[in-house]
Chain A
Amino acid sequence: MYVAVKGGERAIDAAHAWLAEERRGDPSVPELTVAQIREQMTLAVNRVMAEGSLHDPDLAALAIKQARGDLIEAVFLIRAYRTTLPRFGSSQPVDTARMAVDRRVSATFKDLPGGQVLGPTFDYTHRLLDFALAAEGAVPPAAPTAPAADEAVPHVAGLLDRDGLIEAEAPDDTPAPDLTRSPLELPASRALRLQALARGDEGFLLSLAYSTQRGYGRTHAFVGELRIGMVEVQAELPELGFAVPIGEIELTECESVNQFKGSRTEPPQFTRGYGLVMGQGERKALSMSLVDRALRWRELGEDFTGAPAQDEEFVLSHCDNIQATGFLEHIKLPHYVDFQAELELVRRLRAETMQEAAE
């Protein structure tokens, strides 16, 4: 019973036991392995890694299993684990221009150096349930392959920048801030904003980005480029004094090309939005680039129209789903004391009003 707080311990133990039972489901059905989740629920694993901000597919798969498939719960598990890890230092910035791309599409140019690479995408599938998948065991025929082109894959924004058609991105050597180590301070630098967005909830960013497309802080976005692939991570080790490769991670990067600004005296230029997400997460990367662009209104001399996606404080304060779910769900916790106070107040006011009415 909920009210019987003293009996809580026993209740909680029983609830946990019940939860474990529910997680396992019907024991006559074989149990999922972590490896199965990692290999066959890859996009869920990627999302948990991205929003958990920890690159570890096995742990993310474990978290999904433990969370019964509730991805926000799984992110929570990863975040809670991540916070216990020692921190050795920062990697060098990854060079996404040297990404080994699995997918690379540009909506702004029909063809371009490095080519359009469709990659393993849902985009042109018809969303028709494939009942063949319900039958077990069949391994799909191998996809056709082509030798990897060793052609460079330059960024589209770089090509536009060469002609001065897009705002220049000034290099900045300021060490990146760390949201997990220091509290969020507003106004935030763009780097800090991007970091918050990269950890932010995909659904929240999706809705915000969508709202900009529908006129609430519109930025006229084109997908300049979306690329997914492996990049090498390098770190400088203090003992060595130079950077060495420490591994590879998969990233999704989106650069949007947005409405131009300019005047009769200042030649017009396109502007940029940027999204970068760990793993394969293109919906999130696209959303992030639109929201990033909308948040830059002040720096680009645009008007604040009151759109939610332009409001840095609103966006950054609400994008973290672990914060959000925690605070939201806490209202399930007892609030007897506060509520009691309210209850007394309302009763007193009612009594006064009724007495006045009677007089």
Chain B
Amino acid sequence: MTVQDYNFAYLDEQTKRMIRRALLKALAVPGYQVPFASREMPMPYGWGTGGVQVTAACLTPDDRLKVIDQGADDTTNAVSIRRFFQRTAGVETTQSTTGATVIQTRHRIPEAPLSEGQILVYQVPIPEPLRFLEPRETETRRMHELEEYGLMHVKLYEDIARHGEIATAYAYPVKVEDRYVMDPSPIPKFDNPKLADNPAIQLFGAGREARIYALPPYSRVVSLDFEDHPFTPSRAEHACALCGATDSYLDEVITDDRGSRMFSCSDTDFCASRQAGRPDGEGGA
């Protein structure tokens, strides 16, 4: 296969327009899930087909693309998707959070603050925050329409009654602009505060479920909670073993079979920058 066999960024222009229309609608109604005609992609459903389609629709030849999975640029799926766009779009790629114009991510928001003009594209497996309370799509769409979110709080109530706290650690539901309850994709709840008031455009793509949703810059995003059991972002109570950071999200690595563990930043660019003594997020090439 050669680059000439496919259009810029793989998708044909009509498909990109269709996706861009969905993106505009999503930005106009923050948190609302816009159905779109998701395409078959040359990678399996569940591996970022939604994010890849959104990225393909956003990329221009001048963009600099960063792809992370679990916060890291070097994870296999991130490498795979980055290579895909190198081949099909020929865009410049980078590992630097601050140097990228488009960042496709799976399961993390970079530690370094984003800025205006950047686009963060999330890969989303299950876009519907109410799905596990109500499996039927017809019913959940109606619940959104009528703002019937009591059931969501029942789930949180049950967590506290049973576990003494809200037992949701990732994909923690949020309410956007006082209207739609939204699934932030399976990011750790540690990242939830970064969703709010973010200068960057945040786009969410779910390929298998054929949904796109979005947060325009500086959106109001509130993690659901109770007044007397407020939302608390959490992380492992350690410092990064590599860069010493105490305010970043950490990966746990098992180092032997006797139970030894090591903690290090999940955001590899952030960690590398700190180790090199550069400002956060201006790391790797």
- Please tell me whether chains A and B touch each other in their complex, using a CB distance cut-off of 8 A: yes
Chain A residues engaging chain B, CB cutoff 8 angstroms: 109-113, 118, 123-124, 126-131, 152, 154, 158-159, 162-163, 213-216, 218, 262-264, 268
Q: Give every chain A residue within 8 A of B254 (Cβ-Cβ).
A: 109, 111-113, 159
Q: Give every chain B residue within 8 A of A126 (Cβ-Cβ).
A: 42-43, 80, 83-84, 87
* A110, A263, A264: the one within 8 Å of B253 (CB): A110
B168 CB to closest chain A CB (Å) equals: 11
B252 touches A159 (CB 8 A): no
B253 touches A124 (CB 8 A): no
* Interface positions of B from 248 to 285, Cβ below 8 Å from A: 251-257, 259
Given A126-B80, A264-B163, A264-B164, CB of A216 within 8 Å of CB of B135: yes
Which of the four size classes fits the interface of chain B? 20 to 34
* A123, A128, A159, A162: the one within 8 Å of B76 (CB): A123
Q: Give every chain B residue within 8 A of A124 (Cβ-Cβ).
A: 76-77, 79-80
Contact with A along B150-189 (1 / 0, CB 8 A): 0000000000001110000000000000000000000000
A268 touches B253 (CB 8 A): no
Given A124-B76, A124-B79, A124-B80, CB of A159 within 8 Å of CB of B162: no
Q: Give every chain A residue within 8 A of B256 (Cβ-Cβ).
A: 113
Residue B126 at the A interface, CB < 8 A? yes
B135 touches A131 (CB 8 A): no
A50 CB to closest chain B CB (Å) equals: 21
Give me 8 A-to-B residue pairs in the complex whose CB atoms sit less than 8 angstroms apart, sorted by A's number.
A110-B251, A123-B47, A126-B87, A128-B42, A130-B1, A154-B257, A214-B126, A268-B163
A97 CB to closest chain B CB (Å) equals: 11
* Interface positions of B from 113 to 152, Cβ below 8 Å from A: 126, 131-132, 134-135
A215 touches B259 (CB 8 A): no
Residue B70 at the A interface, CB < 8 A? yes
Given A128-B1, A162-B259, CB of A111 within 8 Å of CB of B132: no
A152 touches B257 (CB 8 A): yes
A263 touches B162 (CB 8 A): yes
B43 touches A127 (CB 8 A): yes
* B42, B135, B162, B253: the one within 8 Å of A111 (CB): B253
Q: Give every chain B residue within 8 A of A268 (Cβ-Cβ).
A: 163
- Top 7 closest A-B pairs, CB basis? A127-B42, A215-B135, A124-B80, A112-B254, A111-B253, A126-B42, A154-B257
Given A126-B42, A126-B43, CB of A113 within 8 Å of CB of B257: yes
User: By DSSP majority rule, is chain A's interface helix, strand, loop, or mixed?
Assistant: loop
* Interface positions of B from 34 to 86, Cβ below 8 Å from A: 41-44, 47, 70, 76-77, 79-80, 83-84
* B42, B76, B84, B253: the one within 8 Å of A112 (CB): B253
Q: Give every chain A residue within 8 A of B76 (Cβ-Cβ).
A: 118, 123-124
A163 CB to closest chain B CB (Å) equals: 7
**Taking CB as reference atom, which chain B residue is nearest A132?**
B1
Q: Give every chain A residue within 8 A of B134 (Cβ-Cβ).
A: 215
> For A110, A162, A268, which residue has the most chain B Cβ atoms within 10 angstroms?
A110
Give 12 A-B pairs besides A124-B77, A128-B1, A215-B132 with Cβ atoms closer than 8 angstroms: A109-B252, A110-B252, A112-B253, A126-B83, A126-B84, A127-B41, A131-B1, A214-B135, A216-B135, A218-B132, A263-B163, A264-B163
A158 to B259, CA, bound (A): 10
A111 to B131, CA, bound (A): 32
Q: Give every chain B residue within 8 A of A111 (Cβ-Cβ).
A: 253-255
**Taking CB as reference atom, which chain B residue is nearest A264?**
B164
Q: Give every chain A residue within 8 A of B257 (Cβ-Cβ).
A: 113, 152, 154, 158-159
**Taking CB as reference atom, which chain A residue is nearest B87?**
A126
Q: Give every chain B residue within 8 A of A109 (Cβ-Cβ).
A: 252-254
A131 to B83, CA, bound (A): 19
* A123, A127, A131, A163: the one within 8 Å of B259 (CB): A163
* A131, A154, A214: the one within 8 Å of B131 (CB): A214
Q: Give every chain A residue within 8 A of B83 (Cβ-Cβ).
A: 126
A159 to B256, CA, bound (A): 9
A144 CB to closest chain B CB (Å) equals: 16
Q: Give every chain A residue within 8 A of B135 (Cβ-Cβ).
A: 214-216
A110 to B253, CA, bound (A): 6
**Taking CB as reference atom, which chain B residue is nearest A162?**
B259
A56 CB to closest chain B CB (Å) equals: 30
A302 CB to closest chain B CB (Å) equals: 13
Q: Give every chain A residue within 8 A of B126 (Cβ-Cβ).
A: 213-214
Q: Give every chain B residue within 8 A of A130 (Cβ-Cβ).
A: 1
A61 CB to closest chain B CB (Å) equals: 27
**Taking CB as reference atom, which chain B residue is nearest A109?**
B254
B186 CB to closest chain A CB (Å) equals: 11
A268 to B255, CA, bound (A): 24
Q: Give every chain B residue within 8 A of A112 (Cβ-Cβ).
A: 253-254
A24 CB to closest chain B CB (Å) equals: 33
Q: Give every chain A residue within 8 A of B43 (Cβ-Cβ).
A: 126-127
A130 to B2, CA, bound (A): 10
B152 CB to closest chain A CB (Å) equals: 14
Q: Give every chain B residue within 8 A of A158 (Cβ-Cβ).
A: 257
A98 CB to closest chain B CB (Å) equals: 14
A268 to B165, CA, bound (A): 13
Q: Give every chain B residue within 8 A of A113 (Cβ-Cβ).
A: 254-257
**Taking CB as reference atom, which chain B residue is nearest A113?**
B257
Q: Give every chain A residue within 8 A of B1 (Cβ-Cβ).
A: 128-131
